[in-house]
Amino acid sequence: MKSIAAIAALTLLTSLTLSSCGAKEFDSSKPIQVITREDGSGTKAAFMEIIGLKGQPDVQNAIIQQGTAAVLAGVKNSMYAIAYDSLGYLTDEVKQISVDGVEGTVENIQSGDYKIARPLNVVYKEATVEGNPLYSAYLDFLASSQAQEIIAENGYVSMREGEEFVVPDNLEGTISISGSTSLQPLMVLLAQEFEDICPKVSVEVNGGGSGVGYSNGENGVSVFGMISEEFAQDKAPSCVPFTVAKDGIGIIVNLSNPIEDISLSDLKTIYDSEAEDPIRSWEEVIG
Amino acid sequence: MTSATLARTKEGIIKWALFLCALFAIFAIIVITVYLFANGLPFIFQTGIDKFLFSSVWNLNAGSYGIAAMLVTTLVLTAMATLGGGVFGLLTAICIYKFLPRFLKKPVGFCINLLSGIPSVIYGLFGLSVVVPFIADYLSLNASGYGILSASIVLMIMVLPTMVSMSLDALNATDPMYYEGALALGSTKEEAVFKIMVPAAKSGIFAALVLSCGRALGETMAVILVLGGSVNYPTGLTVSVRTLTANIAMGAMELTGDDLTALVACGVVLFVLTLLINGVFALFRSKMKHV
């Protein structure tokens, strides 16, 4: 009986200790915790290129998170964090801040006012796709008004008006798509819609990353390879790109952080490992 | 055909089937070894052994592939996790062995074994959402919770089931007469357990340590989320660092060309490291048996 009492007391004590860990106040003198993505990530490549730090090593003591979900979890759990992530992924568990006074909204990305945005492309071999009615129908569908509706509904930025997609007769077969995990969730939704329109067609969408998108497109492993950056011809010499949509990259901080806006130059300094006058604490940014 | 020859053919078939199964395992290890060394070794020589092993600059864009910092991190983290998990696990096993009331032994043992069924990525998420924020808020000097402290806590929990169940087996396998003899000679329960039974089971406990060490060394998914991931020497408990396994996992899906080969070369180093650790432990163990 003594041991049961001891265990009960221990459980009570643990839960009391844990529940006393309440929210702490934000202290702007604390260092900024820089969260970034792993090398090879399309989002990282796009972000670093846009803020002018292409190919630079990470800042000292940066936290590297694998994948967009891990970035969100990292920001949610760490009060002094700053990170970047695809707009399509942002949840209300983190706080998105504006850059140079421009909010990262669909309108601002379409108009080009919001600077931190990137294209979401598929790459394919022209000969393979044009010679095949199924593949070319899918490409037409990606440009159609139905597709644009799905793109806009899910927080991505539609780049064309699009005409209504009319289903050609007797479409059947399988389309394989693989690559960037940033484009993957949107492509899955588009593929489902296409399968609804053409019941005999199956569209397989796999991830792997932009690197896989290039190589699978180039080697013919997939009909379409997905890449989430500006198309680089040398990575897939025999392919051509098609821009499905644009994706803004949001700058996010913890919900308890009072900051609302950051300048592009401050943002650059935070992520610059070779900055002459590095920004270390939040008070230097919040002012 | 007589029944005797039939039996002999049957036996022959079974013998060959068993032989093929064994061959498959050997074939697998040979293919993996050849793949690792054929791809990794030329890269290491091309980069230069000293540059590869003793430089800590890992910058793919500049073509610098130095793994020293990650190697040190791997060793320190493995040592911390094995030590912590070993102490915790052994004490837990001792507790279950003699100090828990009989009706609690089964449920406690069951709960600890349950830990081994949890996928490692779940441990990582647990670390990311519980351990890292807790350390950042209450223990850390630099307001960050990522680093070897959180990683070794997570790994410690992960090696517990191996450590506990194997040391418990070792304790249970020792002759209970030792224990009763010790009591009869007037020693207390604690003395009998710690001074007689634990030393008697040391070889099994050592085996448990080796296996725990192997798990801590090879674990990737759990630590990748809580280590931070920058290439630094572990100069503090909450400095963002990266282990060799994390380095491979971070790049394996995305990198191509020389960068990918560099990861295979990291695999070679890990492979050799595993061999070394196993070898050293085997040496220790054979020495211990002779004493």
B147 and B235 share one domain: yes
B14 and B93 share one domain: no
Q: Which ipTM score applies to this complex?
A: 0.72
pLDDT in tens, A57-95: 888 889 998 888 889 988 998 889 999 998 878 888 999
Higher-confidence residue of B289 and A241: namely A241
B31 and B110 share one domain: no
B193 and B86 share one domain: yes
B77 and B29 share one domain: no
Q: Could you tell me which residues of chain B have a Cβ less than 8 Å from any Cβ in chain A?
A: 59-62, 100-101, 104, 125, 128-129, 132-134, 136-138, 142-146, 224-225, 228-230, 232, 239-240, 242, 249-251, 253-256, 259
Question: Closest to A61 (Cβ–Cβ): which among B59, B240, B251?
Answer: B240
For A200, phi then psi, to 5°, come to: -90, 0
Look at residue A227 and tell me whether its pLDDT is greater than 70: yes
Q: What is the pLDDT of residue B172?
A: 92
Q: What is the mean pLDDT of residues B269-280?
A: 88
Q: What is the pLDDT of residue B7?
A: 84
If we measure between CA atoms, which residue out of B252, B71, B83 comes closest to residue B155?
Answer: B83
Domain count along chain B: 2
Q: What is the pLDDT of residue A240?
A: 93
Q: What is the mean pLDDT of residues B219-224?
A: 86
Q: Read off the pLDDT band of B185 (50, 70, 90).
A: very high
Range of the domain at B235: 68-290
Q: Are B40 and B261 in contact (CB under 8 A)?
A: yes
Q: What is the mean pLDDT of residues B16-20?
A: 92
Q: What is the pLDDT of residue A15?
A: 59
For residue A79, the chain B residues in CB contact (below 8 A) are: 136, 143
Higher-confidence residue of A19 and B171: namely B171
| Distance of residue A110 Cα from the nearest chain B Cα, in angstroms | 29
Q: Are B181 and B143 in contact (CB under 8 A)?
A: no
Question: Closest to B225 (Cβ–Cβ): which among A60, A70, A210?
Answer: A70
In a domain, B54, yes or no: no
First-last CA distance in chain A: 60
- CATH number of the domain enclosing B205: 1.10.3720.10
For residue B129, the chain A residues in CB contact (below 8 A) are: 73, 77
Q: What percent of chain A has pLDDT over 90?
A: 38
For residue B104, the chain A residues in CB contact (below 8 A) are: 3
3-state secondary structure of B286: helix
Min mean pLDDT across A21-25, A145-149, A270-274, B187-191 is at A21-25
Q: Are B118 and B154 in contact (CB under 8 A)?
A: no
| Distance of residue A260 Cα from the nearest chain B Cα, in angstroms | 22
Closest residue, chain A, to B145 (C-alpha): A78
User: Which helix or strand (DSSP H or E) is residue B69 part of?
Assistant: helix B68-94
Q: Which two tokens stand for residue B204?
A: 């099994």
- Best interface-test mutation with B: which of A17, A66, A214, A215 has the largest number of B CBs within 10 A? A66
Q: Read off the pLDDT band of A11 (50, 70, 90).
A: low
Look at residue A20 and tell me whether its pLDDT is greater than 70: no
CB pairs under 8 A between A and B: 97
Question: Closest to B251 (Cβ–Cβ): which among A40, A57, A74?
Answer: A40
Question: Closest to B224 (Cβ–Cβ): which among A66, A74, A208?
Answer: A66
Q: Which fold does the domain A29-117+249-286 belong to in CATH?
A: D-Maltodextrin-Binding Protein; domain 2 (3.40.190)
For residue B225, the chain A residues in CB contact (below 8 A) are: 65-66, 70
Min mean pLDDT across A154-168, A238-252, B66-80 is at A154-168
CA distance A191 to B196: 68
Min mean pLDDT across A122-136, B132-146, B277-291 is at B277-291
Number of neighbouring beta carbons within 10 Å of residue A278: 14
B94 and B23 share one domain: no
pLDDT in tens, B121-158: 899 889 988 999 899 888 888 778 899 999 999 999 99
Look at residue B280 and tell me whether its pLDDT is greater than 80: yes
Spatial neighbors of B74 by CB under 8 A, at least 6 apart, are B217, B243, B244, B245, B270, B273
**In this structure, are strands A95-99 and A201-208 parallel, antiparallel, or unpaired?**
unpaired
Q: Are B130 and A78 in contact (CB under 8 A)?
A: no
Q: CATH class for domain A119-247?
A: alpha beta
Q: Which two tokens stand for residue A167?
A: 């289903």
Look at residue A33 and tell me whether its pLDDT is greater than 60: yes
Q: What is the mean pLDDT of residues B102-114?
A: 90
Domain ranges within chain A, ordered by starting residue: 29-117+249-286, 119-247
B235 and B163 share one domain: yes
DSSP characters over B114-162: HHTTS-HHHHHHHIIIIIHHHHHHHT-SSS---SHHHHHHHHHHHHHHH
For residue A228, the chain B residues in CB contact (below 8 A) are: none
Q: Which residues share a beta bridge with A33?
A: A81
- Best interface-test mutation with B: which of A25, A33, A181 has the largest number of B CBs within 10 A? A33
Q: What is the mean pLDDT of residues B24-39?
A: 92
Average pLDDT, chain B: 89
CA distance A25 to A261: 20
Q: Are A64 and B60 a contacting pair at CB < 8 A?
A: no
Closest residue, chain B, to A35 (C-alpha): B228
Q: Are B256 and A211 a contacting pair at CB < 8 A?
A: yes
